[in-house]
Amino acid sequence: MLALPVLWLGVVYVGSLLALLVQSFFSIDEFTGVIQYEFTLKTYLELLRPSNLDIIIRTVTMATVVTVAAVVIAFPIAYYATRYARGKWKAFFYIAVMMPLWSSYLVKVYAWKLILAKEGIINWIFIKMHLTSVLEFLLAVPVIGGNSLSVSYIGTCLVFLYVWLPFMILPIQAALERVPSNVIEASYDLGATPRQTFFRVIFPLAMPGVIAGSIFTFSLTLGDYIIPQIVGSSRLFLGQAVYLHQGTAGNIPLAAAFSVVPIFIMGCYLWLAKRAGAFDAI
């Protein structure tokens, strides 16, 4: 019974992954551009070049910022949906999170292109509220700013945050639902204030959910090459580097080595998450 799916995933998927990993140990001849099928670590050393290292650091930083912001926005929604929403409202919250989760990724990115454009709605709101100077000030900040929102890291970060947010809400909610109510009552009976109950009892128990959600937001940000291409500056992210090297540059070994970076990071992350028991919350 298992043979078929295992064959599919095992052969097609893992087989392809291994084929990719193998290629990262090959190298490319810098003059002829021909791939040399000999074992070498040269390609991995290339990752440590300042320009390539920058790409990795930039992507990991972005993934971290997006993940933290997602937790901040997701937690209140998940918390409210678990503790206060009942009956019809519960269904409402469920659909309100599921719809954006499953709706089209490209349409969501496209919507943000409309929103962040110079002639778009955000600029319009700032103008109507006579706050254009605030926006200009934000965009003048080095590194994260830019000519307009759609070519700045602020824009990239907003789109990432928007697209991955549901992936954070659902696991947190699943974890919160599993906090037994008698534990919370016990906390109150023992004289804890609501704030203490939240930070000492509820939040630690919801932690597996937060970790599970962060697996998604982190992994998805690490591998995405479309969002930074459409909304953002011309500086590359990991996914874009992989895409460029395998495509126009034809440097499959370096592309393979680049794609080992997210695999490695996610591997460490998953291992830590498993130890924290986060898999039960997915």
Partner 1 sequence: MQSSAKTGASIGLKFSVLAGLLFLHLPVLLIFLYAFTTEEKSYQFPPPGLTFKWLAVTWGRQDVWEALGLSLKVASIAAIIGVLLGALCAAAISRSRFFGREVISLLVILPIALPGIVTGIALRSAFSLAEIPFSFWTIILGHATFCVVVVYNNAIARFRRTHGSLIEASMDLGANSFQTLRYVILPNIATALVAGGMLAFALSFDEVIVTTFTSGQQTTLPIWMLEELVRPRQRPVTNVVAMVVVLVTFLPILGAYYLIREDESDRNTR
Which one of 33-41, 46-54, 77-85, 141-149 is the stretch in contact with partner 1 (CB under 8 A)? 77-85
Q: Check binding of 64 to partner 1 (CB under 8 A).
A: no
Rounded to whole angstroms, the Cα distance separating 61 from 237 reads: 11
- Scanning residues 12 to 41, which ones bind partner 1 (CB under 8 A)? 12-17, 19-20, 23
Q: Check binding of 204 to partner 1 (CB under 8 A).
A: no
Query: Smallest distance from the beta carbon of 122 to partner 1, in angstroms?
Result: 9
143 secondary structure, DSSP code:
T
Q: Check binding of 199 to partner 1 (CB under 8 A).
A: no
Write the DSSP string, 202-262.
Answer: IHHHHHHHHHHHHHHHHHHHHH--SHHHHSS-SS--HHHHHHHHHTTT--HHHHHHHHHHH
130 secondary structure, DSSP code:
T
Task: Report the residue number, 40 or 143, with the smaller CB distance to partner 1.
Answer: 40
Query: Given candidates 151, 165, 236, 257, which one binds partner 1 under the rule CB under 8 A?
Result: 165
Task: Report the residue number, 67 or 173, with the smaller CB distance to partner 1.
Answer: 173
Task: Report the residue number, 23 or 143, with the smaller CB distance to partner 1.
Answer: 23
Q: Check binding of 282 to partner 1 (CB under 8 A).
A: yes
Taken in order 60, 63, 69, 71, the sign of the CA dihedral is negative
Q: Check binding of 124 to partner 1 (CB under 8 A).
A: yes
Query: Given candidates 111, 131, 134, 186, which one binds partner 1 under the rule CB under 8 A?
Result: 111
176 residue type, one letter = L
Please check whether residue 140 is in contact with residue 173, taking contact to mean a CB–CB distance below 8 angstroms.
no
Query: Smallest distance from the beta carbon of 5 to partner 1, in angstroms?
Result: 4
Write the DSSP string, 8-47.
Answer: IIIIIIIHHHHHHHHHTTSEE-TTT-PEE-S--SHHHHHH
Rounded to whole angstroms, the Cα distance separating 64 from 57 reads: 10
Query: Given candidates 43, 56, 211, 224, which one binds partner 1 under the rule CB under 8 A?
Result: 224
Which of 179, 148, 154, 138 lies closest to 69 in space, CA to CA?
A: 154
**What's the first-to-final CA gap in the chain, in angstroms?**
25
Q: Check binding of 201 to partner 1 (CB under 8 A).
A: no
Q: Check binding of 157 to partner 1 (CB under 8 A).
A: no
- Number of residues forming the site for partner 1 (CB under 8 A): 91
Q: Check binding of 250 to partner 1 (CB under 8 A).
A: no
Task: Report the residue number, 130 or 195, with the smaller CB distance to partner 1.
Answer: 195
Query: Given candidates 35, 42, 46, 120, which one binds partner 1 under the rule CB under 8 A?
Result: 120
Strand partners, 252: none
Q: Check binding of 60 to partner 1 (CB under 8 A).
A: no
Burial of 204 (0-12, 13-18, 19+ CB in 10 A): exposed
Query: Given candidates 45, 53, 57, 95, which one binds partner 1 under the rule CB under 8 A?
Result: 95
Reported as half-sphere exposure (CB side, CA atoms, 13 A), residue 282 has a value of 12
- Scanning residues 261 to 280, which ones bind partner 1 (CB under 8 A)? 262-263, 266, 270
Q: Check binding of 45 to partner 1 (CB under 8 A).
A: no
